[in-house]
Amino acid sequence: MKKVLVVYYSRTGHTQEMADAIAKGAQTAGAQAVCSAVQDVNVKELVQYDVIVIGSPSYYGAMAGDVKKFLDATIAVQGALRGKVGGAFCSSARVSGGNETTLLSILHAMLVHGMVLTGGSATFPYGPVAIHAPDDTTTREECMAYGRMLAELAAKL
Amino acid sequence: MTMSKILVGYYSRTGNTKTMAEEIAAGAHEAGAQADVLAVESLTPDALLPYKAIVLGSPDYYGGMAAPLKKLLDDSVKVHGQLAGKIGGAFASSANIGGGNETTILSIIQALLVHGMIVPGVAAGDHYGPVAINAPDDRALRQCRKYGKLVAELAAKLGC
């Protein structure tokens, strides 16, 4: 069974809701999925997972400082994440609030780790995004579809 | 297992990016794949369809890809949806260190992600894809060969 870790930073709970939906989606593909706040994850734990998905609110067009701090600390496992599947998700206060630039800032770090990324669907090419709360069913469904897609890719690898 | 078919598309005026393309193809070949090296001007969106992996390279023009490659990617909307699940990769050459190689590669990778393609990173080496400064030196050629191999191995793993 593939193991999926969904890491998030969330102050309002919006990004956390997205994380829960992504984990649920991964479970529908038969994976075991765990959601953790970034503050609770030790970078050494990452090596046990087949899929690592990281989500953040958009702060000044990029990931929150806590997520960047976490990614900076992953130098401790540089080389050990190679070939794992990576993904990102983001929530923002407004349309054009930096969701895509935030996603890309996370995906860039994953490429440096040698992880394998996948484009999402036509509606969320870099990863799912929400404006404020992911209260519409579309965003939740997109998050679930993304979780499922990442778990299925890991199963193929 | 059938042999993976890999396309290495490039735009090159000086021949530097073309040299990189050939080296990437050589790496893919080493890993047991069949690789075609073609200039982007000779490619159409439909021509992309038979390949399981598509690696695109460009010189760095103003921090992004050259217009002929951008045009091919723009036109590829015609086959949108049909490239999803294929493997994608990118490479770039620049006249200067700090000349925009990485931003050029990322501009290509972003388009590949919009297509729903699968893109590997490189843990040790040129992380986003191979880069060269002017004519590719031994270091750059090694990165190209390694990248071609990585892409071909990923294609094989995904049963392409």
pLDDT of amino acid A135 = 67
Q: Report the DSSP pairing between strands B118-120 and A116-118.
A: antiparallel
The answer to whether the CB atoms of B106 and A121 lie below 8 A apart is: no
Residues of A within 8 A of B120 (CB-CB) are 83, 111, 114-117
**At CB < 8 Å, which residues of chain A contact B?**
78-79, 81-83, 86, 104, 107-108, 110-122, 125-126, 153, 156-157
A149, A83, B120, A142: CA torsion to nearest 10:
20
**Is pLDDT above 80 for A2?**
yes
Three-state SS for chain A is CCEEEEEECCCCCHHHHHHHHHHHHHHHCCCEEEEEEHHHCCHHHHHHCCEEEEEEECECCECCHHHHHHHHHHHHHCCCCCCCEEEEEEEECCCCCCHHHHHHHHHHHHHHCCCEEECCCCCCCCCCEEECCCCCHHHHHHHHHHHHHHHHHHHHC
pLDDT of amino acid A61 = 87
Name which of A3, A105, A157, A28 is nearest B87 in CA terms.
Answer: A157
Residues of B within 8 A of A156 (CB-CB) are 157-159
The answer to whether the CB atoms of B119 and A125 lie below 8 A apart is: no
Report which of residues A94 and A53 the model is more confident about: A53
pLDDT of amino acid B140 = 98
Domain map (residue ranges) of chain B: 5-157
Q: What is the ipTM of this complex?
A: 0.79
Report helix, strand or coil for B54.
strand
Gap from B21 CA to chain A (nearest CA, Å): 21
Name the closest residue on chain B to residue A108, using Cα atoms.
B128
Q: What are the pLDDT digits (tens) for A26-48? A: 999 999 999 999 999 999 999 99
Q: What are the pLDDT digits (tens) for A81-140? A: 999 999 999 999 888 888 999 999 999 999 999 999 999 887 889 999 999 877 677 899
pLDDT of amino acid A133 = 77
Gap from B39 CA to chain A (nearest CA, Å): 25
CB neighbour class for B71 (10 Å; exposed up to 12, middle 13-18, buried from 19): middle
A15, A20, A21, A24: CA torsion to nearest 10:
160
**At CB < 8 Å, which residues of chain B contact A?**
80-81, 84, 106, 109-110, 112-124, 127-128, 154, 157-159
The answer to whether the CB atoms of B80 and A122 lie below 8 A apart is: yes
Report helix, strand or coil for B59.
strand
Tokens for B59? 């010189």
The answer to whether the CB atoms of A125 and B121 lie below 8 A apart is: no
pLDDT of amino acid A57 = 95
pLDDT of amino acid B107 = 92
CA A90 to CA B24: how far, in whole Å? 34
Superfamily of domain B5-157: Flavodoxin domain (3.40.50.360)
Is the CB of residue B4 less than 8 Å from the CB of residue B128?
no
What stretches in chain B show pLDDT beneath 70?
A: 1-2, 160
Residues of A within 8 A of B112 (CB-CB) are 119
pLDDT of amino acid B2 = 65
pLDDT of amino acid A134 = 73
pLDDT of amino acid B160 = 55
Candidates B116, B158, B159; nearest CB to A120:
B116
Residues of A within 8 A of B122 (CB-CB) are 111, 114
| Domains of chain A, earliest start first | 3-156 (3.40.50.360)
Tokens for B35? 């690789």
Gap from A151 CA to chain B (nearest CA, Å): 13
Candidates B113, B128, B154; nearest CB to A119:
B113
